[in-house]
Amino acid sequence: MRALALAMAWLVCAVAPLRASDSVQVGTTFSITDLPFFIAQSRGYFADEKLTVNFINFDSAARMIAPLASGDLDVAAGGPSAALYNSIARNIGVRIVGDKSSTPAGRPGQTLLVRKALIESGRVKTLADFKGLKIASAAPGSSAMGTLNRLYKLAGLGPTDLERVYLGFPQQIVALQNGAIDAALPTEPFASEAVRQGYAAPFMSDDQIYPGHQISVIIYSDRFRSQRRDIAVRFMRAYLRGVRAQNASIVDARLTGPDSEEFISLITAQTPVKDRELLRNLRLSANDSDGALNVASLEEDFEVFRAEGLLEGKIAFKDSLDLSFAKEAAASLAR
């Protein structure tokens, strides 16, 4: 009997790395800011944690909320949105658990573009000249709404002084080209492409408009947080190793340091961005090496969503966070 028990114990240990519970489903937008995920996958950091990670492409973080709620997704990576907070208000236990990108000074995530004709004609010289313009952002209730709110304050304008429209980033560039909009807040590489083609001019970057803005986050589903905590910590630890490898390769906000060519190859393989020279020259938004969030920025945007009437039900901002996973993962890396 003792021999049988030992044999069974060995069998359990042998198959443990292949258990379905060690598989993690991750929703991403396959953007440049997903680089730490690509690094963790390519360098085997997830494998070191005995995890099989499957990435699923979405066109926006808002579309990840329903599969997170159902448990079909374990992790989502994208902007904190009104849709996220509304799901929490409905007692769906998704939570923001860590940083994905932010905009300290010199580390932009988006660029405020203006149609070049408006600059050349002198119609737009200062932020106050944005009054009456038609400006596009990705979606109502997205993190870009927080950037626009700061923009209004800097310009001395109110939300009704500009006409707001909502378009995906590729559509924003087309609309700038044909004159359907006057200004936009696209991410890279869309902003650089619009400037390169000569129909838009960069006016200000979002690190100037809203320094330290928490523009994207890591989100865990309820089941992943509460029923698979050990795996959730291991996932965070592997992700933070990817963040730290990326950060070691960034010099003056650009991907030009050690291992940069390896990482640029990962971006060109995994995203629609294929221009290596563009990637070498982009100033990248920031990733915190410990996964720490700018909580004040998140709360400010939360209140913007509330003021815009986009939040449903009753929710306290503090109920949207669970910072324990990043803290535990960072502490274990320090050890």
Mean pLDDT of 45-66: 90
- CA–CA gap between residue 41 and residue 51 (Å, rounded): 10
- The domains located in the chain, with CATH, are 22-104+213-334 (3.40.190.10), 111-209 (3.40.190.10)
pLDDT at 203 over 60: yes
Banded pLDDT at 27 (limits 50, 70, 90): very high
Amino acid at 247: N
Take residue 152 and report the two structure tokens written for it.
């209004």
Give 236-278 pLDDT, tens digit per residue: 999 999 999 999 999 999 999 999 999 999 999 998 889 999 9
Q: Where are the alpha helices (DSSP H) in the chain?
A: 2-15, 35-42, 45-48, 65-70, 82-89, 116-120, 143-155, 169-178, 190-197, 206-209, 222-227, 229-248, 260-270, 276-281, 295-307, 324-334
- Enclosing H/E stretch for 126: none
pLDDT at 9 over 80: no
**Rounded alpha-carbon distances, angstroms, from residue 164 to 138, 149, 156, 320:** 10, 12, 17, 28
Give 158-200 pLDDT, tens digit per residue: 888 999 999 888 899 999 999 999 999 988 888 888 898 898 9
pLDDT at 16 over 90: no
Banded pLDDT at 93 (limits 50, 70, 90): confident
- CA–CA gap between residue 25 and residue 253 (Å, rounded): 30
pLDDT at 13 over 70: no
pLDDT at 19 over 60: no
Banded pLDDT at 68 (limits 50, 70, 90): very high
- CA–CA gap between residue 258 and residue 245 (Å, rounded): 9
Please identify which residue in the block is written with the tokens 């927080």. Answer: 146
Which residues are paired to 218 by β-bridges? Answer: 77, 98
Take residue 149 and report the two structure tokens written for it.
């709110």
- Is the Cβ–Cβ distance between 303 and 141 less than 8 Å? no
- CA–CA gap between residue 84 and residue 95 (Å, rounded): 9
pLDDT for position 139: 81
Average pLDDT of the chain is: 90
Give 105-163 pLDDT, tens digit per residue: 999 999 999 999 999 999 999 999 999 999 998 888 888 899 999 999 999 998 889 99
Banded pLDDT at 330 (limits 50, 70, 90): very high
- CA–CA gap between residue 217 and residue 291 (Å, rounded): 9
Banded pLDDT at 20 (limits 50, 70, 90): very low
